[in-house]
Amino acid sequence: MQAMRRVSSNVFVELYFFGCNPGFLVTRDGVVLIDTPQQPIDAVRWRERAVEHGPIRYLINTEPHPDHIRGNAFFPGVEVVGHTGLRTRYLEALPDITGAERRAVLVREDPDSVWLYNHPSYPPNPPTRLFEDELTLQVGDHEVRCIHMPGHTSPQTTVYLPRERAAFTGDNVFFQCKTFIQEADPWQWLEALDRIGQLDVDVIVPGHGEPCDKSYLAEQGQIIRNWIGAVEDLVSRGLTEDDAVKHPLDVQSLDPYPIGQRLFAMNESLDARNVRNLYRRVRARQAQGAAR
């Protein structure tokens, strides 16, 4: 059922849930969670695993995408830490976290989770401990550094655990699975990868895919550069946004990796969303450059 992996002395990660890679740090004063399983039944099981190691002190979200925040509800009473922009996004996403459409998806795809959905014991749990640039939590004898690193999303946060020589990047890193650029600022993302590379870590826990190390960051950056280059080319050929989205692209040559677990239904629509986002950003950047 689960494949929890110990990635450093006190850090545990689950890699094979449907959704992101949630993890936790164990300290002598309790547990700090990073992100949550999106499927209700996985989230309650994950909570049982975590509390075996002590009371849960904090839950930190790395980004506002549903696969990272939907499970917050199943940690009632646990203070959630996140970037100020993440709180806004959580509240905007409430229909997707508590709405009828999501319930219908669970009925179809995950019947074991339905009884937990919108259960009165599990109200929405948005971030309340907020920060702009950086927030350091002291838990037991561990420093937990939450560092704003916009890229994949604008509130994107890296959780850096110096004593563990580990960092959770959320989806600023997709290890050997397809990179989602549907709303990213790709240039900020490249800067974020540089900053992650400067952290003193042996282990990087990506948002999706196996744990890796800093040697993968160059490849992740190249995938983003490939996408930027491909869309710059479409823009420079004068294609409209809609034509650019329809234009056949050799995506395999930009990003060689398959889409992550159970996401294949999104594969083609993701390409279109990546192109649409990048088209607008490339155009805006060109307009800015011209205005200077």
In this structure, which amino acid lies at residue 259?
I
Residues 119-178 that bind Zn ion (CB under 5 A): 171
260 contributes a contact to Zn ion by CB under 5 A: no
The 74-113 site mask, x for binding Zn ion (CB under 5 A), equals ----------------------------------------
Encoding tokens for residue 245? 């989205």
Tell me: does residue 14 bind Zn ion (CB under 5 A).
Answer: no
Whichever of 20 and 33 has its CB closer to Zn ion, that residue is: 20
Which residue, 90 or 282, has its beta carbon nearer to Zn ion? 90
Question: Site for Zn ion (CB under 5 A): which residue of 7, 11, 15, 20?
Answer: 20
Residue 20 or 192 with smaller CB distance to Zn ion: 20
Which residue, 73 or 234, has its beta carbon nearer to Zn ion? 73
- In the window 35-64, what residues touch Zn ion (CB under 5 A)? none
13 lines the binding site for Zn ion (CB under 5 A): no
Rounded least distance, CB 281 to Zn ion, Å: 20
CB of 242 to Zn ion, least distance (A): 27
Q: How many residues bind Zn ion (CB under 5 A)?
A: 5
Q: How far is the CB of 208 from Zn ion (least distance, A)?
A: 6
Residues between 194 and 213 with contacts to Zn ion, criterion CB under 5 A: 207
**Site of interaction with Zn ion (CB under 5 A):** 20, 65, 67, 171, 207
